[in-house]
Amino acid sequence: MNVVPQNAVSVDPVKLEKLGEVAVKVGLRLQKGQDLLITAPMAALPLVRFITKHAYRAGAGLVTTFYSDEQSTLERYREADEASFDRAADWLYQGMAKAFEGGTARLAIAGDNPMLLSEQDPARVARAARANSAAYKPALEKISNFDINWNIVSFPNPSWAKLVFPNDPEAIAVAKLSKAIFAASRVDQDDPIAAWTDHNANLARRAGWLNDQRFAALHFTGPGTDLRVGLADDHEWHGGASTAKNGITCNPNIPTEEVFTTPHALRVEGHVSSTKPLSHQGTLIDDIRVRFEGGRIVEATASRGAEVLAKLLDTDEGARRLGEVAMVPHSSPISASGILFYNTLFDENASCHIALGQCYSKCFLDGANLSQDQIKAQGGNSSLIHVDWMIGSDKVDIDGVKEDGARVPVMRAGEWA
């Protein structure tokens, strides 16, 4: 007998299956005979089943899913020995890295309560995150270097839905969040796959224009912001669908509204203020203000979550430098929704943003053939983390700066110029 999770009754099963189909056909473009590794919260079981169904229809070799459970995560913080927080399942991540080396595709379903660890000891949370990042690095490098086709989609977990819509009963909150996810993921349209084809073409045009300009830097100005972001040597802009090193063109993030590239780790100067809160490690970090010198954050404050921000910046040397800069118009559908999702996958697509930490090797000309030493020499950053936070709004302007100092308007009042 099939057991239907309680929250599933608030989620339109037709649109949920469309999301599963889009994840396979657009997000991954899974190939015949290719294996698939899925990670998901237990609440997302209905979506996992639809993804598995469409993966096998597409000819998947073997689909394997690893589930997480919020209650079990909390039990660790309540009951585990202190030494537990400096450990991670490195054997599991080594196995994942081996799978990716063998061509397995990767799909992550997001949906856990972003504030799950908000009442836990921040020092323990930071230690556990650091240990997990170090253990996960061999597998993460296969993803950040774009060796394989990979994708992230989201499921409206009730605990997440109640955080986003705290004044609604759980069923209503789940229904509202699922509607927002479906709209942002374009599965509320008659032909989602065609809609993604059009959207990818538009993002490719934006990225193509930026690549033609060959800017040396971007200059952000607005309330609390006067920031010059130097761009890495031979950087390349990407947006929407991209081709992995295995030759498969996929959409890593669903939803996505951004075009992005790699900053130069040593050429960021000035100060910048966040325009939306950052949900990280169970803490909401708000009103972030940082100052860069020589590419490195030398001052950082936050009106809320400052301790967590400080620990994040101390993860390693690369954590205080940038690994990504991304452009998103203020009028993007996610921004227009007016919803704070407490989930970076969504919130970063409501605003221009920067990311602390690891760069993407694919954001270089001929990036697939560059060594790590070459990427570093061209300005690419290396770190255990990659954390995006939002710096764009309808009050922020962006100029592209060429090698000779000439300036070209890129965005005005948060919109493409």
DSSP labels, 315-383:
SSGGGGSEEEEEE--TTSHHHHHT---S-HHHHGGGS-EEEEEPPPGGGBTTGGG--HHHHHHTT----
Is the pLDDT reported for residue 253 higher than 50?
Answer: yes
Structure confidence at residue 283 (pLDDT): 86
Mean pLDDT of the region 211-219: 98
Residue-level pLDDT at 368: 81
Q: Are 279 and 388 in contact (CB under 8 A)?
A: no
Average of per-residue pLDDT across 340-357: 94
DSSP state of 46: H
Number of residues written out for the chain? 417
| For residues 321-338, average pLDDT | 95
The first and second tokens of residue 321, run together, are 């430098």
Higher pLDDT, 9 or 148: 148
Between 2-6, 65-69, 110-114, 328-332, the lowest mean confidence (pLDDT) is in: 2-6
Q: How confident is the model at residue 9 (pLDDT cuts 50, 70, 90)?
A: low
Query: What tokens were used for 244?
Result: 């992995």
- Listed by start position, the domains of the chain span 6-184, 211-239+257-416
Range in 152-161, 228-237, 342-351, 376-385 with the lowest mean pLDDT: 342-351
**Per-residue pLDDT, 122:** 87
Looking at residues 179-202, what average pLDDT do you find?
96
Residue 282's pLDDT is 79
Q: What is the mean pLDDT of residues 195-204?
A: 97
Instruction: Give the pLDDT confidence score for residue 367 in this predicted structure.
Output: 87
Q: What is the mean pLDDT of the chain?
A: 95
Inform me whether the pLDDT recorded for 365 exceeds 90: yes
**Which whole-number Å values give the CA distances from 404 to 150, 213, 226, 293, in the listed order?**
39, 12, 20, 22
What pLDDT is recorded for position 1? 43
H-run or E-run covering 201: helix 192-213
The answer to which of 17-21, 114-118, 151-155 has the lowest mean pLDDT is 114-118
**Model pTM above 0.75:** yes
Spatial neighbors of 141 by CB under 8 A, at least 6 apart, are: 97, 147
Q: What is the pLDDT of residue 144?
A: 84
- Write down the residue that tokens 């993921």 correspond to: 185
pLDDT at 155 over 80: yes
Query: HEC profile for 137-188?
Result: HHHHHHHHCCCCCEEEEECCCHHHHHHHCCCCCHHHHHHHHHHHHHHHCCCC
What is the distance, to the nearest Å, from the Cα of residue 222 to the centroid of all Cα atoms in its chain?
A: 24
| Residue 279 near residue 344, CB atoms below 8 Å | yes
When pLDDT is cut at 50, 70 and 90, the band that residue 244 belongs to is very high
What is the phi-psi region of residue 256: left when phi exceeds 0, alpha when psi lies from -120 to 50, beta otherwise? Answer: beta
CATH topology assigned to domain 6-184: Thermophilic metalloprotease-like (3.40.1830)
pLDDT greater than 70 at residue 6: no
- Which conformational region is residue 58 in: left (phi greater than 0), alpha (psi within -120 to 50 degrees), or beta? alpha
With a pLDDT cut of 70, the percent of the chain lying above it is: 98
Asked if residues 90 and 132 have their Cβ atoms less than 8 Å apart, the reply is no
Can you tell me the distance from the alpha carbon of 11 to that of 50, in angstroms, rounded to the nearest whole number? 13
Q: What is the pLDDT of residue 4?
A: 42
Residue 386 β-bridge partners? 357
Residue scoring higher pLDDT (107 or 361): 107
Instruction: State the Cα–Cα distance between residues 206 and 275, nearest whole angstrom.
Output: 23
* Contacts by residues 131-135 (CB-CB < 8 Å, ≥ 24 positions apart): 131/85, 131/86, 131/87, 131/88, 132/88, 133/315, 133/384, 133/385, 134/88, 134/384, 135/88, 135/89, 135/90, 135/93
CB burial class (10 A; 0-12, 13-18, 19+) of residue 223? Answer: exposed
Alpha-carbon gap, residue 88 to 92, rounded angstroms: 9
Q: Is 82 exposed, middle or buried (0-12, 13-18, 19+ CB in 10 A)?
A: exposed
Number of H-type helices and E-type strands within the chain: 12, 21
